[in-house]
Amino acid sequence: MKLIEASAAALREKGCSLIILSLHWGRETHMKPSPAQYAFARKALALDIDLIFGHHPHVIQPIALYQGKPVFFSTGNFTFGTMSNVDPSTGMFQAVYDLSGETPRLSALRVLPCVTGKKGDYRPIPVTDEAGRRNIFSKLYLHKPSYGFEALPESFLLTGEAAFDD
């Protein structure tokens, strides 16, 4: 944690407006974050981190908010594939910020749902059918908020988008 804190402070001193922490964490193929991940995320976000981008489990995990800051626990496999039966759900993730104030303000989150192909090239393929899109949005939605984290607005389940107003 000391390295994260020192790095965040150094970035802010250099004028960085937004700090994204990329973490290789979580248990492979587990669809839910562990209690330890929630605890680590809380501590990291308290150190002036604006967003956590997680990867490693090879499957998507929920997006959660902690004190208004997003945590993408796992974004799945986007350019990495497998011939195993791992859930192929993934996506392109966008976080939109208003940087005009003293601190970054999250204004929107968007997900373009995709699946990884299983024909040996493992390229991401956008999901266009409504049922498939909503299935992925549901996997990314924190259905049982816990550990002080909040779910995205329920509208995310239908659209894959969440808007945040002042």
Give Cα separations from 51 to 67, 123, 132 (angstroms).
11, 26, 27
Pairing of strands 105-116, 89-98: antiparallel
Specify the amino acid at residue 13. Answer: E
Q: What is the pLDDT of residue 77?
A: 82
Give Cα separations from 74 to 48, 59, 61, 100, 101 (angstroms).
21, 7, 5, 29, 29
Q: What is the pLDDT of residue 43?
A: 97
Given a cut of 90, whether residue 15 has pLDDT beyond it is yes
- Show the tokens assigned to 4: 């994260």
Q: What is the pLDDT of residue 19?
A: 97
The proportion of the chain whose per-residue pLDDT surpasses 70, expressed as a percent, equals 96
- Show the tokens assigned to 136: 């992925």
Dihedral, 10, 12, 17, 23 alpha carbons, nearest 10: 50
Residues 71-109 pLDDT 10s: 999 998 876 666 667 888 999 999 999 999 989 999 999
Cα 7 → chain centroid: 21
Average pLDDT of the residues of the chain: 93
Q: What is the pLDDT of residue 87?
A: 87
Q: What is the pLDDT of residue 123?
A: 83
Q: Decide if 39 contacts 20 (C-beta within 8 A).
A: no
The proportion of the chain whose per-residue pLDDT surpasses 90, expressed as a percent, equals 81
DSSP state at residue 40 = H
Given a cut of 80, whether residue 122 has pLDDT beyond it is no
Of 119-123, 126-130, 149-153, least confident by mean pLDDT is 119-123
Residues 145-155 pLDDT 10s: 999 999 999 99
Given a cut of 80, whether residue 64 has pLDDT beyond it is yes
Cite the DSSP H helix spans in the chain: 2-13, 35-45, 130-140, 156-159
